[in-house]
Amino acid sequence: MIVKHIPIRKMNKSSFSGLVNYITQAQDKNERVGEVRITNCISEQPAWAAIEAEMTQRQNTRSKLDKTYHLLVSFPTGENPSPEVLQKVEDFLCESLGYQEHQRVSAVHHDTDHLHIHIAINKVHPVKLTVRQPYRDYKLLADAALKLEQEHNLTADNHIARLTQSQAKAQDMEKSAGIESLIGWIKRGCLPELLAASSWDELHTALAHHSLTLSERGNGLEHF
């Protein structure tokens, strides 16, 4: 099981309603969305629950932090935990982050080989109206994932962060969108040839064989 916080890059573009709409809509894909769950909200419909959460967010006028937390939980290919286990996974992860009392909307997705859950969490407490920003959330999530794997006999994963920033972004995209990244394609299709190159000319020749180019950018080589 892989658990990741998906950061919202542009803070002024953060929208709880937008995130809820994204995770709960089929987007012309058959069986994309499974169970949708609403927690700590009065509303029973996702759109209304999102509005409820945004009304809570507006009551905190002091914090400049992003007020929406996007959590992604992904399971290995072929692993399909029961709805009861999925709910326990969600509850325990949110509790580990200190969000057990916060408003949230979650949706189970079946549109890729990896069953996964998107969880939209309001970081503003519905009563205290304080914004909670978990300290070292990646460590909290890793510890929680390990406990959940052991308790529910889920496939164990390596929760030690060893990926580069580019690799981590690529992995997130592949697991959440079901699209193979360029990094993943290179590793699968031509990495041995690239590693075997003993000169720049040989490297460029190997890249060209796969319709790739390596460009100089700034003070070094940034990307293919």
Question: In the prediction, which pLDDT does 170 show?
Answer: 54
Is 21 in the same domain as 112?
Answer: yes
Three-state secondary structure of 11-78: HHHCCHHHHHHHHHCCCCCCCCEEEEEEECCCCCCHHHHHHHHHHHHHCCCCCCCCCEEEEEEECCCC
Range of the domain at 172: 165-221
> How much is the CA Rg of the chain, to the nearest whole Å?
20
From edge to edge, which strands make up the β-sheet containing 116-122? Answer: 2-5, 68-74, 116-122, 104-109, 33-39
We report the CATH number of the domain holding residue 85 as 3.30.930.30
Is 92 in the same domain as 185?
Answer: no
**Predicted confidence pLDDT, tens digits, the chain (224 residues):** 899 898 876 544 468 999 999 899 876 666 678 899 999 999 999 999 999 999 999 999 998 888 999 999 999 988 999 999 999 999 999 999 999 999 999 999 887 778 999 999 999 999 999 999 998 898 999 999 999 999 999 998 877 654 445 555 555 555 555 544 566 666 656 666 667 676 777 777 777 776 677 776 655 554 44
Task: In whole angstroms, give the CA distance from residue 178 to residue 61.
Answer: 38
**Residue 35 domain flag:** yes
**Residue 156 domain flag:** no
Is 213 in the same domain as 189?
Answer: yes
Tell me which residue of 94, 147, 101 sits closest to 124, measured CA to CA: 101
Question: In the prediction, which pLDDT does 102 show?
Answer: 98
Question: In the prediction, which pLDDT does 87 show?
Answer: 96
Report the C-alpha dihedral over residues 93, 98, 103, 109, rounded to 10 degrees: -20
